[in-house]
């Protein structure tokens, strides 16, 4: 067994089964509905969160990052399990102080090599980043080479995401709008398509109408999947109606795709939906030949 463990946070979107099967550990963010506080995916589930989000909310939910002590607890537990190295892969520091907390915790744990990495990603693309590193570790046990691989993913911006929100209000009110400030959404049926670039949210496209949105998102995915030697696609959605929406995007991709695509499906983590809103759909692409 490799003595290298992976730790991430609950802004990472991957199926629960994959996380469990690959022994990927997560440190939870806190979710606040007014005065009520929950531990993401521990004391509140995806469904419980979305049920509350689609109710009559007087105050939008907010999140707080994990504290150093939360990381120390996870790192110490992994040390007791026999791991001597941790790759701690986290949400962009332009969006959260999570990786800074991981760095502080790494200095508090002795006799263990802990390597916190700002992936410059969040949500579904963070999920693909963690997936890529986990799969790389199945082929490579040299710590230095694995860290170099992770850095290459960042430097080459190898992971692409396009996502759409029903309204920009959540991103604006939660201060996560990045370079997409002022981007139109929900006006005259204009649909925004956003991406994550250099660690922050950035504008990508605008289209008019839902049908045009699905087609454009499919085209953006196809453009990159066609260029990939081993194409990988992660589909993610927020509320239950959005599962039908992302399925329609996928049908458009599948209709035109003439090569086998590894497809992962994951519901958006509550941490992400707090900031993007429940009516979010996302496609993320990657060339798994890079692994």
Q: What confidence score (pLDDT) does residue 277 get?
A: 87
DSSP state letter for 179: G
Asked if residue 103 has pLDDT above 70, the reply is yes
Give the model confidence (pLDDT) of 115-138 as tens digits.
999 999 999 999 999 999 999 999
Q: Is CATH 3.30.1180.10 what the domain over 160-290 is classified as, yes or no? A: yes
Question: Domain 4-155 is in which class?
Answer: alpha beta
Q: How does pLDDT run across 188-211, given as a tens digit for each residue?
A: 678 899 999 999 989 899 899 999
What value does the mean pLDDT take over residues 152-167?
94
Give the Cα separation of 144 and 156 in Å (integer).
18
The DSSP annotation for 223-234 comes to: HHHHH-SSEEEE
What does each C-alpha distance from 210 to 27, 156, 196, 215, 243 come to in angstroms? 36, 32, 21, 9, 14
The pLDDT value recorded for residue 158 is 97
84: left (phi > 0), else alpha (psi -120 to 50), else beta? alpha
Closest CA to 250 of 282, 208, 209: 282
Question: Given this model, what pLDDT does residue 173 score?
Answer: 66
Q: What is the pLDDT of residue 58?
A: 75
214 CB burial (10 A radius; 0-12, 13-18, 19+): buried
Please tell me the pTM assigned to this model. Answer: 0.94
Query: Given pLDDT bands bounded at 50, 70 and 90, which one contains residue 265?
Result: very high
- What average pLDDT does the segment 70-78 reach? 98
Q: Is the pLDDT of residue 170 over 90?
A: no
Domain ranges for the chain = 4-155, 160-290
Q: How far is CA 197 from CA 120, 164, 186, 189, 241, in A?
A: 8, 15, 23, 25, 27
* Residue 279 to residue 218: CA distance in whole angstroms: 18
- Counting every residue written for the chain, the total comes to 291
Residues 276 and 270: their CA atoms lie apart, in Å, by 10
User: Does the structure show a pLDDT above 70 at 62?
Assistant: yes
CA torsion sign for 6, 8, 14, 18 is: positive
């Amino acid at each position: 067994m490799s003595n290298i463990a992976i730790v991430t946070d609950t802004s990472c979107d991957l199926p629960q089964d994959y996380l469990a099967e690959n022994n990927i550990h997560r440190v939870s963010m806190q979710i606040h509905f007014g005065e009520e506080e929950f531990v993401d995916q521990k004391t509140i589930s995806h469904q419980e969160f979305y049920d509350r989000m689609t109710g009559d909310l007087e105050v939008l939910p907010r999140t707080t990052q994990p504290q150093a002590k939360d990381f120390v607890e996870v790192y110490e537990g992994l040390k007791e399990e026999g791991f001597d190295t941790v790759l701690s892969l986290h949400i962009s520091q332009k969006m959260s102080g999570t990786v800074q907390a991981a760095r502080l915790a790494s200095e508090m744990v002795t006799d263990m090599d802990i390597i916190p990495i700002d992936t410059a990603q969040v949500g579904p693309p963070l999920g693909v980043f963690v997936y890529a590193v986990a799969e790389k570790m199945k082929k490579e046990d040299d710590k230095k080479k694995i860290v170099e691989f992770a850095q290459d993913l960042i430097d080459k911006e190898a992971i692409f995401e396009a996502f759409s929100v029903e309204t920009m209000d959540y991103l604006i009110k939660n201060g996560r709008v990045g370079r997409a400030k002022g981007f139109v959404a929900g006006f005259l049926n204009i649909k925004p398509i956003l991406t994550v670039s250099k660690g922050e949210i950035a504008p990508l496209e605008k289209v008019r109408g839902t049908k045009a949105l699905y087609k454009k998102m499919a085209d953006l995915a196809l453009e990159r999947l066609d260029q990939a030697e081993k194409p990988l696609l992660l589909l993610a959605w927020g509320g239950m109606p959005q599962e039908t929406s992302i399925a329609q995007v996928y049908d458009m991709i599948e209709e035109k795709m003439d090569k086998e695509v590894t497809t992962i499906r994951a519901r958006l983590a509550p941490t992400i939906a707090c900031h993007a809103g429940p009516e979010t759909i996302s496609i993320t692409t990657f060339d798994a030949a890079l692994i």
